[in-house]
Amino acid sequence: MIHIFDYQDNHYVYDTGSGALHMADRETADYLRAKEGQTVDLSALSPEKIREIEGDIASLVKEELLYKEEVKLYPPKSKYVKALCLHICHDCNLRCRYCFADEGAYHSAREMMSLDTAKRAIDFLIANSGDRKVLEVDFFGGEPLMNLSVIKETVYYAKEEAAKRGKRFLFTTTTNALLLNEETVRFLNEEMENVVLSIDGRKEVHDAVRKTVNGKGSFDAVIDKIKNFVSLRGDKHFYVRGTFTAKNLDFDKDVLFLADQGFDSISMEPVVTDIPDLQIKEGDLPAVKESYDRLCDEYLKRYAEGKGFNFFHFNVDLEGGPCLSKRVSACGAGNEYFSVTPNGDIYPCHQFAGDKDFLMGNVFEGKLDPSIRERFASSCLFTRKGCEDCFAKFICSGGCNANNYHYNRDIDVPYQMTCEMMKKRIECAMHILAQKKLGE
């Protein structure tokens, strides 16, 4: 299938079968729209022009860059585990209103993961990793730095055990930055492949939802710590990551605020919540899309001025990127990626933690519930409802299992609000890619 879209005065044609992106003049775009069954007035096109357009289209079809048949490849079911999210701490030193994890407690007692449990989780991962050489562990919470000593010992233990077996670990930590100090920063910079630092943008936006235990905004307590961390990070990966809600639908201002602080690697995610005043609703979509448009324009402007930054959702790799198998199988939650809670319980991912319907086992037993694993392993792009006719399918892979379940009680039924935002971001990303290419 093809997707024809306009961005300002530019007309783009994306071919889902080949993954190719083309830029067209208005006449060609209109001709293709008519060919797709859309109502378009082509009366102004002369016979010569139509012949020219048809010739161009025929050339691209011959090169398999337009109307290429999509390959319906069901991904192989992985037998191995490649990644764990360790809930190193089910407690938090913030009380963010929108927290999906019940302000860190995950709807149960506030508790820390013991070193023994963390070591068993590492053993479980290594034992189930087959011939995979690179394994991933994400230290997550609550606020993981509240249990720093266990993180440190777990890292050292994992590296030691991996070395014995010719494997290697990549570690990630997600933190609210409140506990960053000289020692912690040094450790994270030495050992973490990636660090995700949570900050929502402008002070008033951040403080409205990210509050301390005493109910005060946390912006002033974290901003300088994040700046210091980033200044010492060198060329290693990090993301400052914000959440936008119905209260800041102009979140482009927050992304740009973060860029203005010197953070050149930024992610901004729509909130996952059913709290009425924070939840993004259908009526908010036009404002969200306008925000992405404004961000896209400013992103390109700054790029042209040599002041570019990396915004996670505006990266789309149409020339490289993952293989078809990955594009179809998505994140791997519940199949090759799992989360482990402080008591060692295993869930498909962090967003299912605490939901007993999705309890898959425990690291001390070392087994995974075969029926839940099969449910997740069997789910792929081609089992998702409504994805077949969507141009974004090979880029988004059918959305997030947890989001789908949270809103529709079915991992195979995508949440349409997320779909709409995803499609908008992909169009922005394609426009950015094209403008960068044209400027080369």
Partner 1 sequence: MIKTIAKPMNRKVTGCGECRSTCQSACKTSCTVGNQSCERVTREEKIEKRK
Residues 184 to 213: which contact partner 1 by CB under 8 A? 194, 196
Q: Which of 120, 350, 423, 424 binds partner 1 (CB under 8 A)?
A: 350
Q: Where does residue 398 rank: exposed (0-12), middle (13-18), buried (19+ CB within 10 A)?
A: buried
Residue 330 engages partner 1 in binding (rule: CB under 8 A): yes
Residue 222 interacting with partner 1 (CB under 8 A): no
**What is each CA distance from 53 to 30, 45, 267, in whole angstroms?**
10, 10, 40
Alpha-carbon gap, residue 422 to 288, rounded angstroms: 11
**What DSSP assignment string belongs to 22-80?**
EEE-HHHHHHHHHHTT-----TT--HHHHHHHHHHHHHHHHTT-SSPPPP--PPPPP-S
Question: 139-169: string of b/e by CB count within 10 Å (b at 16+)?
Answer: bbbbbbbbbbebbeebbeebeebbeeeebeb
By CB under 8 A, name the one of 3, 7, 16, 24 that touches partner 1.
24
Q: What is the DSSP letter of 101?
A: T
Beta carbon of residue 245, minimum distance to partner 1 (angstroms, whole number): 12
Closest separation between CB of residue 318 and partner 1, Å? 4
- Of residues 251 through 310, those in contact with partner 1 by CB under 8 A are 267, 269-270, 272
**25 touches partner 1 by CB under 8 A:** yes
Q: How many helices (H) and strands (E) does the chain have?
A: 14, 15
Which residue is listed with tokens 């192989």? 76
**By the rule CB under 8 A, 245 interacts with partner 1:** no
C-beta of 60 vs 114, nearer to partner 1: 60
Q: Which of 106, 169, 239, 309 binds partner 1 (CB under 8 A)?
A: 239
Binding-site string for partner 1 from residue 87 to residue 126, where x marks contact by CB under 8 A and - marks none: ----------------------------------------
**Rounded Cα distance, 264 and 308, in Å:** 8
Beta carbon of residue 80, minimum distance to partner 1 (angstroms, whole number):
7
Among 396, 417, 419, 432, binds partner 1 (CB under 8 A): 396
CB of 397 to partner 1, least distance (A): 4
- Residue 342 has which token pair? 């402080």
* Cis peptide bond upstream of 142, omega within 30: yes
Non-local (6+) Cβ contacts of 255 within 8 A are: 201, 242, 266, 268, 295, 311
- Minimum CB separation of residue 210 from partner 1 in Å reads 15
Scanning residues 66 to 85, which ones bind partner 1 (CB under 8 A)?
A: 75-76, 78, 80, 82-83, 85
332 binds partner 1 (CB under 8 A): yes
Q: List Cβ neighbours of 286 (8 Å cut-off, separation of 6 or more).
A: none
Distance of closest approach, residue 23 Cβ to partner 1, in angstroms: 5
| Total interface residues for partner 1 by CB under 8 A | 79
204 C-beta neighbours (distance < 10 Å), count? 12
Q: Is 345 one of the binding residues for partner 1 (CB under 8 A)?
A: no
Nearer to partner 1 by Cβ, of 113 and 417: the residue is 417
- The binder of partner 1 chosen from 325, 378, 388, 410 (CB under 8 A): 325
Looking at 313, 373, 423, 424, which residue binds partner 1 (CB under 8 A)?
313
- Work out whether 177 is an interface residue with partner 1 (CB under 8 A): no
Under rule CB under 8 A, residue 42 binds partner 1: no
- Is 134 among the residues that bind partner 1 (CB under 8 A)? yes
E-strand stretches of 351-403: 361-362
CA distance 288 to 418: 11
